[in-house]
């Protein structure tokens, strides 16, 4: 359990895995655009770590320019249910927090 939690807790890791799960194989630039806010250096580092853990596959085609595509491995797809559940919880919590902020704003306005 400790191993997998340490792996998933790395910066940007779950977001990268979720994007690969949701959108399928992607080139570096496409993945970088989807993982908003990540630097190229950090994305490269995380992809190498995930590749080393056999969660992500890096497919290289020797074209001009070179074509590199990243996708989840079979092992990476074992996390599909977990990532889906995390996304579901995240969306629900975001909606609940937005509703709570709206109630607080209405209460503050009524108190004025």
Would you place residue 10 in the very low, low, confident or very high pLDDT band (cuts 50, 70, 90)?
confident
Dist CA 39 CA 43 (whole Å) = 6
Range 2-111 classified under CATH 3.10.580.10: no
| Mean pLDDT for all residues in the chain | 94
pLDDT, one tens digit per residue, over 27-76 is 999 999 999 999 999 999 999 999 999 999 999 999 998 999 999 999 99
Token pair recorded at residue 73: 């491995």
- Pair 101, 39: CB distance under 8 Å: no
45: buried, middle or exposed (CB in 10 Å: 19+, 13-18, 0-12)?
Answer: middle
Domain positions in the chain: 2-111
CA 57 to chain centre: 16
């Amino acid at each position: 359990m400790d191993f997998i939690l340490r792996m998933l807790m790395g910066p940007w890791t779950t977001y990268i895995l979720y994007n690969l799960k949701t959108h399928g194989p992607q080139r570096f630039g496409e993945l970088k655009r989807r993982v908003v806010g990540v630097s190229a250096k950090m994305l490269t580092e995380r992809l190498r770590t995930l590749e080393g853990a056999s969660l992500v596959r890096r497919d290289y085609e020797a074209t001009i320019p070179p074509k590199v595509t990243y996708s989840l491995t079979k092992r990476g797809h074992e996390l599909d249910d977990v990532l889906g559940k995390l996304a579901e919880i995240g969306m629900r919590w975001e909606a609940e927090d937005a509703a709570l902020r709206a109630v607080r704003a209405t209460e503050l306005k009524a108190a004025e």
